[in-house]
Amino acid sequence: MKKTILFLLSFALTLPVFAAMNHGNMIMDDQGMIMNNNPDKLPKDCKAVSEEVNITIRGGKKFAQDFAGKMFSYDKRNFQVPPCARVNVTFINEDDIRHQFMIHGLPGYMYPKGMFTIELYGKGQKTGSFIVPSRDYTYYIHCEVSQHTEKGMKGQLKVGKGTGDLDSILGLTAPLTPDLYPINNTHYTWLALIFSILVGVVLIRVLSSLLTVKVQ
Protein backbone atom coordinates (compact mmCIF):
# COMPACT_ATOMS: atom_id res chain seq x y z
CA MET A 1 0.00 0.00 0.00
CA LYS A 2 2.81 2.40 0.93
CA LYS A 3 4.57 1.67 -2.36
CA THR A 4 1.38 2.45 -4.30
CA ILE A 5 0.95 5.77 -2.48
CA LEU A 6 4.59 6.70 -3.08
CA PHE A 7 4.28 5.84 -6.77
CA LEU A 8 1.14 7.97 -7.16
CA LEU A 9 2.78 10.90 -5.37
CA SER A 10 5.90 10.72 -7.52
CA PHE A 11 3.78 10.49 -10.68
CA ALA A 12 1.73 13.53 -9.66
CA LEU A 13 4.88 15.54 -8.97
CA THR A 14 6.33 14.77 -12.41
CA LEU A 15 3.22 15.87 -14.33
CA PRO A 16 4.28 19.54 -14.53
CA VAL A 17 7.61 18.43 -16.00
CA PHE A 18 5.85 16.65 -18.86
CA ALA A 19 3.34 19.48 -19.31
CA ALA A 20 6.01 22.13 -19.89
CA MET A 21 9.42 20.94 -21.10
CA ASN A 22 12.51 23.01 -21.78
CA HIS A 23 14.93 21.29 -24.19
CA GLY A 24 17.97 23.53 -24.50
CA ASN A 25 16.81 26.41 -26.70
CA MET A 26 13.24 25.12 -26.98
CA ILE A 27 10.35 25.74 -24.59
CA MET A 28 7.49 23.28 -25.20
CA ASP A 29 4.07 22.44 -23.84
CA ASP A 30 0.86 20.88 -25.16
CA GLN A 31 -0.11 24.14 -26.89
CA GLY A 32 3.05 24.82 -28.85
CA MET A 33 6.70 25.81 -28.56
CA ILE A 34 9.12 28.73 -28.59
CA MET A 35 12.57 28.20 -30.10
CA ASN A 36 15.60 30.38 -29.26
CA ASN A 37 13.75 32.66 -26.86
CA ASN A 38 16.16 35.43 -25.81
CA PRO A 39 14.92 38.25 -23.55
CA ASP A 40 18.31 39.30 -22.15
CA LYS A 41 21.45 38.20 -24.06
CA LEU A 42 22.83 41.12 -26.09
CA PRO A 43 24.35 40.79 -29.57
CA LYS A 44 28.08 41.55 -29.67
CA ASP A 45 27.51 44.90 -31.38
CA CYS A 46 24.95 46.19 -28.83
CA LYS A 47 25.98 47.79 -25.53
CA ALA A 48 22.42 47.87 -24.19
CA VAL A 49 18.82 47.29 -25.24
CA SER A 50 17.83 50.46 -27.11
CA GLU A 51 14.07 50.05 -26.88
CA GLU A 52 11.36 47.63 -25.81
CA VAL A 53 9.09 46.83 -28.77
CA ASN A 54 5.89 44.84 -28.29
CA ILE A 55 4.39 43.22 -31.38
CA THR A 56 1.12 41.31 -31.59
CA ILE A 57 0.64 39.34 -34.79
CA ARG A 58 -2.25 37.06 -35.72
CA GLY A 59 -2.18 34.22 -38.22
CA GLY A 60 -5.02 32.44 -39.99
CA LYS A 61 -7.18 31.88 -43.05
CA LYS A 62 -9.30 35.00 -42.66
CA PHE A 63 -6.32 37.29 -43.21
CA ALA A 64 -5.85 35.94 -46.76
CA GLN A 65 -9.45 36.42 -47.90
CA ASP A 66 -8.68 39.61 -49.86
CA PHE A 67 -5.91 37.97 -51.90
CA ALA A 68 -6.85 35.70 -54.80
CA GLY A 69 -5.23 32.27 -54.74
CA LYS A 70 -3.92 32.62 -51.18
CA MET A 71 -5.04 30.57 -48.19
CA PHE A 72 -3.17 31.82 -45.09
CA SER A 73 -1.60 35.06 -43.94
CA TYR A 74 -0.76 37.29 -40.99
CA ASP A 75 -2.88 40.28 -40.05
CA LYS A 76 0.28 42.44 -40.17
CA ARG A 77 3.14 41.71 -42.53
CA ASN A 78 5.51 44.67 -42.20
CA PHE A 79 7.36 45.74 -39.03
CA GLN A 80 10.14 48.19 -38.25
CA VAL A 81 12.20 48.36 -35.05
CA PRO A 82 15.31 50.31 -33.97
CA PRO A 83 18.74 48.64 -33.83
CA CYS A 84 19.46 46.71 -30.61
CA ALA A 85 15.75 46.59 -29.74
CA ARG A 86 14.23 43.83 -27.66
CA VAL A 87 11.25 42.57 -29.64
CA ASN A 88 8.52 40.87 -27.63
CA VAL A 89 6.29 38.95 -30.02
CA THR A 90 2.83 37.74 -29.08
CA PHE A 91 1.72 35.33 -31.79
CA ILE A 92 -1.98 34.44 -31.91
CA ASN A 93 -3.15 31.48 -34.00
CA GLU A 94 -6.76 31.93 -35.12
CA ASP A 95 -7.06 28.55 -36.86
CA ASP A 96 -7.41 24.96 -35.63
CA ILE A 97 -4.20 23.93 -37.41
CA ARG A 98 -0.47 24.57 -36.88
CA HIS A 99 0.93 28.01 -37.64
CA GLN A 100 4.30 29.61 -36.97
CA PHE A 101 5.95 32.97 -36.59
CA MET A 102 9.51 32.26 -37.76
CA ILE A 103 12.18 34.88 -38.41
CA HIS A 104 15.46 34.16 -40.25
CA GLY A 105 18.88 35.82 -40.44
CA LEU A 106 19.56 36.52 -36.77
CA PRO A 107 23.16 36.08 -35.50
CA GLY A 108 24.00 32.38 -35.44
CA TYR A 109 26.21 32.67 -32.35
CA MET A 110 23.07 33.62 -30.36
CA TYR A 111 20.27 31.99 -32.32
CA PRO A 112 21.11 28.51 -33.67
CA LYS A 113 20.51 28.45 -37.44
CA GLY A 114 19.75 32.19 -37.19
CA MET A 115 16.12 31.55 -36.28
CA PHE A 116 13.57 32.58 -33.69
CA THR A 117 10.27 30.67 -33.80
CA ILE A 118 6.91 30.60 -32.07
CA GLU A 119 4.69 27.68 -33.08
CA LEU A 120 1.12 26.96 -32.03
CA TYR A 121 -0.55 23.62 -32.71
CA GLY A 122 -4.03 25.18 -32.91
CA LYS A 123 -5.95 28.19 -31.61
CA GLY A 124 -4.13 30.02 -28.85
CA GLN A 125 -1.26 32.41 -28.22
CA LYS A 126 2.33 32.52 -26.98
CA THR A 127 4.82 35.31 -26.31
CA GLY A 128 8.57 35.15 -26.87
CA SER A 129 11.43 37.64 -27.18
CA PHE A 130 14.56 38.23 -29.24
CA ILE A 131 17.09 41.07 -29.41
CA VAL A 132 18.13 42.35 -32.83
CA PRO A 133 21.70 43.43 -33.75
CA SER A 134 22.71 47.02 -34.52
CA ARG A 135 23.00 46.77 -38.31
CA ASP A 136 20.28 47.89 -40.70
CA TYR A 137 18.72 44.77 -42.16
CA THR A 138 15.41 43.37 -43.42
CA TYR A 139 14.57 40.03 -41.80
CA TYR A 140 12.33 37.41 -43.37
CA ILE A 141 9.23 36.24 -41.45
CA HIS A 142 7.16 33.24 -42.49
CA CYS A 143 5.33 30.07 -41.45
CA GLU A 144 7.42 27.00 -42.30
CA VAL A 145 4.53 24.52 -42.15
CA SER A 146 4.33 22.86 -45.58
CA GLN A 147 2.79 25.15 -48.25
CA HIS A 148 1.83 27.89 -45.77
CA THR A 149 4.55 30.24 -47.05
CA GLU A 150 3.55 29.64 -50.67
CA LYS A 151 -0.08 30.21 -49.74
CA GLY A 152 0.64 33.69 -48.37
CA MET A 153 2.00 33.43 -44.82
CA LYS A 154 5.06 35.67 -44.93
CA GLY A 155 6.22 39.11 -43.85
CA GLN A 156 9.26 41.21 -43.01
CA LEU A 157 10.88 43.00 -40.07
CA LYS A 158 13.17 45.95 -40.76
CA VAL A 159 15.86 46.87 -38.26
CA GLY A 160 16.77 50.53 -38.62
CA LYS A 161 16.40 51.53 -42.27
CA GLY A 162 16.37 47.90 -43.38
CA THR A 163 17.88 46.67 -46.63
CA GLY A 164 14.85 47.13 -48.86
CA ASP A 165 11.56 45.28 -49.12
CA LEU A 166 11.33 41.54 -49.65
CA ASP A 167 9.33 40.23 -52.60
CA SER A 168 5.97 38.45 -52.55
CA ILE A 169 4.57 39.94 -49.33
CA LEU A 170 0.81 40.27 -49.61
CA GLY A 171 -0.39 43.85 -49.87
CA LEU A 172 3.17 45.19 -49.83
CA THR A 173 5.33 43.92 -52.69
CA ALA A 174 4.80 42.23 -56.04
CA PRO A 175 5.11 38.43 -56.23
CA LEU A 176 8.37 37.06 -57.59
CA THR A 177 6.47 34.46 -59.65
CA PRO A 178 2.93 35.79 -60.12
CA ASP A 179 0.01 33.50 -60.86
CA LEU A 180 -0.91 34.07 -64.49
CA TYR A 181 -3.98 32.78 -66.27
CA PRO A 182 -3.48 33.89 -69.90
CA ILE A 183 -6.33 33.66 -72.39
CA ASN A 184 -5.06 33.49 -75.96
CA ASN A 185 -8.07 34.10 -78.18
CA THR A 186 -7.25 33.67 -81.88
CA HIS A 187 -9.59 34.11 -84.86
CA TYR A 188 -10.21 30.34 -84.69
CA THR A 189 -11.52 30.77 -81.15
CA TRP A 190 -14.01 33.42 -82.29
CA LEU A 191 -15.08 31.31 -85.30
CA ALA A 192 -15.70 28.33 -83.00
CA LEU A 193 -17.74 30.55 -80.66
CA ILE A 194 -19.87 31.96 -83.50
CA PHE A 195 -20.40 28.45 -84.93
CA SER A 196 -21.51 27.17 -81.51
CA ILE A 197 -24.01 30.03 -81.17
CA LEU A 198 -25.45 29.39 -84.65
CA VAL A 199 -25.79 25.66 -83.96
CA GLY A 200 -27.52 26.49 -80.68
CA VAL A 201 -29.99 28.82 -82.42
CA VAL A 202 -30.78 26.19 -85.08
CA LEU A 203 -31.33 23.47 -82.46
CA ILE A 204 -33.66 25.72 -80.47
CA ARG A 205 -35.75 26.44 -83.57
CA VAL A 206 -35.90 22.75 -84.54
CA LEU A 207 -36.98 21.74 -81.03
CA SER A 208 -39.57 24.53 -80.95
CA SER A 209 -41.00 23.34 -84.30
CA LEU A 210 -41.22 19.73 -83.09
CA LEU A 211 -43.01 20.76 -79.92
CA THR A 212 -45.47 22.90 -81.91
CA VAL A 213 -46.28 19.95 -84.21
CA LYS A 214 -46.88 17.63 -81.23
CA VAL A 215 -49.22 20.11 -79.58
CA GLN A 216 -51.30 20.46 -82.76
Coil, helix or strand for 17?
Answer: helix
Q: What is the pLDDT of residue 123?
A: 98
Q: Is residue 56 part of a domain?
A: yes
Q: What is the CATH number of the domain that holds 94?
A: 2.60.40.420
Contacts of residue 82, Cβ cutoff 8 Å, sequence gap at least 6: 50, 51, 53, 159, 160
Query: What span, in angstroms and rounded, lies between the C-alpha atoms of 207 and 163?
Result: 69
Domain that holds residue 192: 185-216
Q: What is the pLDDT of residue 10?
A: 53
Q: What is the pLDDT of residue 23?
A: 57
Q: Is residue 193 part of a domain?
A: yes
Are residue 98 and residue 189 in the same domain, yes or no?
no
Are residue 109 and residue 211 in the same domain, yes or no?
no
Overall number of domains in the chain: 2
Last residue of a domain, one of 159, 177, 193: 159
Q: Is residue 173 part of a domain?
A: no
Are residue 25 and residue 129 in the same domain, yes or no?
yes
pTM score, whole prediction: 0.74
Are residue 96 and residue 193 in the same domain, yes or no?
no
Neighbours of 97 (CB within 10 A): 14
Q: What is the pLDDT of residue 2?
A: 55
Q: Is residue 37 part of a domain?
A: yes
Q: What is the pLDDT of residue 13?
A: 47
Q: Is residue 175 part of a domain?
A: no
The secondary structure of 92-128 as a DSSP string is EE-SSS-EEEEEE---TTTSGGG-EEEEESSSEEEEE
Are residue 143 and residue 204 in the same domain, yes or no?
no
Residue 152 and residue 67 in contact, taking contact as beta carbons nearer than 8 Å: yes
Q: Is residue 177 part of a domain?
A: no
Are residue 60 and residue 122 in the same domain, yes or no?
yes
Identify the segments of the chain with pLDDT beneath 70: 1-24, 180-181, 213-216
